[in-house]
Amino acid sequence: AQSVSQHNHHVILSEAASLELGCNYSYGGTVNLFWYVQYPGQHLQLLLKYFSGDPLVKGIKGFEAEFIKSKFSFNLRKPSVQWSDTAEYFCAVMTTDSWGKLQFGAGTQVVVTP
């Protein structure tokens, strides 16, 4: 069965620290990859997506993610976090045989302290 794994459930870091959230998926075919963010009390918002081309994808708010096909990974990074980055982050995968359905990881709660 296909699965999406996010390595950390909870991350606490200080402002200006660098952030990296891991995401691995199990699917051997072509995938589209997404990172969504959910700020407290708000709906899920798309941070960035990868469909094809350059495996290093830049998203909003200074986030980027790198697709490494050989490692089945799509890790999210930000060089210097801010307090406003406190949120829950979800990795999601859409496979070519899933008719556009997204499979989500369990999410990572990120808390940035001032």
Are 53 and 30 in contact, with CB atoms under 8 Å apart? Answer: no
Query: Applying CB under 8 A, which of residues 83, 101, 111, 113 lies at the interface with other proteins?
Result: 101
Question: Alpha-carbon distance 107 to 15, whole Å?
Answer: 21
59 binds other proteins (CB under 8 A): no
Residue 88: which H helix or E strand, with range? Answer: strand 87-95
> Taking the alpha carbons of 52, 54, 58, 63 in that order, is the dihedral positive or negative?
positive
The site string for other proteins over 2-41 (x = CB under 8 A, - otherwise) reads -------x----------------------x-x-x-----
106 binds other proteins (CB under 8 A): yes
Question: Interface residues with other proteins (CB under 8 A)?
Answer: 9, 32, 34, 36, 42-46, 49, 51, 90, 99-107
